[in-house]
Amino acid sequence: MRLLAIFALALTAAAADRTVLAIGAHAGDMELTTGALLARYAKAGDRVVILHLTLGERGKSTPNYAQQKRTEAEAAAKILGAEVRFGPWQDSQIPTTEDAARWLAAQIADVKPTTILTHWKNSIHKDHTATYRLVNDAILYAALDGARTVRATYYAENWEDAESFHPYVYIPVSADDIATWHKAAMAYEFAHTSSFDYLRYYEGLQKVRGAEARKPFALAFDIEEIGKRRILD
């Protein structure tokens, strides 16, 4: 049984009671895709926590790259005003087991997030799809154990997770948030040295989604299909 999180479209919930938990497969995933929004929430006084299930340490074969990624993740979180946590798994080996879901449920019970940001269900990267599955199982387990804090789960727009992703929820961000995002992204070497131009892609996306939302900049998220059901009396 897969939990369909309780979807709340009240994105403008009072900042005082909002805790945002961004759960990514690899250090860098959540900052690149959602960093501008994390910056916005942190600036508004929300608690923001980034949980990297792995360091993404196999992106480069240089010695000590795992330590480098950890240092970069800590620097990026600091720039965004977020706390950072790390999962116990290795890059490309996130397991979709009961134990893994229980570990993640304990993290959710500990952080008590009201909003979770994570990967969409379809991806070219197995760790991303594993993260989607774990997050949904973990929300269920946390809820069954009494931690029913999650009001909304939003799936980030990620070039690697594009299959059947449809932007549904748009959240505006400011030029200042974009500047903070850019600084955080630059903390990661791969973001500006990879053959995939991450910065150009996400800069462009933030403008495109902004135009669609009639705002200067915005991020777009998908939600579960059942959350899109409208029942009219």
| Binding residues with Zn ion: total (CB under 5 A) | 3
Q: Any residues with CB less than 8 A from the CB of 155 and at least 6 apart, and which?
A: 117, 118, 119, 120, 121, 132, 161, 165, 221, 222, 223
**Residue 119 contacts Zn ion per CB under 5 A:** no
Stretch that binds Zn ion, among 18-26, 80-88, 186-194, 201-209 (CB under 5 A): 18-26
Residue with tokens 């992106």: 59
For residues 57 to 96, the per-residue mask of contacts with Zn ion, x marking binding by CB under 5 A and - elsewhere, is ----------------------------------------
Residue with tokens 């949980």: 51
Name the nearest CA neighbour of 202 among 20, 31, 26: 31
Q: Which is nearer to Zn ion, 18 or 26 (CB)?
A: 26
For residues 25 to 64, the per-residue mask of contacts with Zn ion, x marking binding by CB under 5 A and - elsewhere, is xx--x-----------------------------------
**Residue 157 contacts Zn ion per CB under 5 A:** no
Give phi and psi for 221, each to the nearest 5.
-130, 155
Could you give the CA distance from residue 18 to residue 24 in angstroms, rounded to a whole number? Answer: 19
Could you give the CA distance from residue 150 to residue 139 in angstroms, rounded to a whole number? Answer: 7
- Which residue number is nearest to Zn ion in terms of Cβ? 26
Stretch that binds Zn ion, among 21-29, 110-118, 180-188, 216-224 (CB under 5 A): 21-29
Q: Which residues bind Zn ion (CB under 5 A)?
A: 25-26, 29
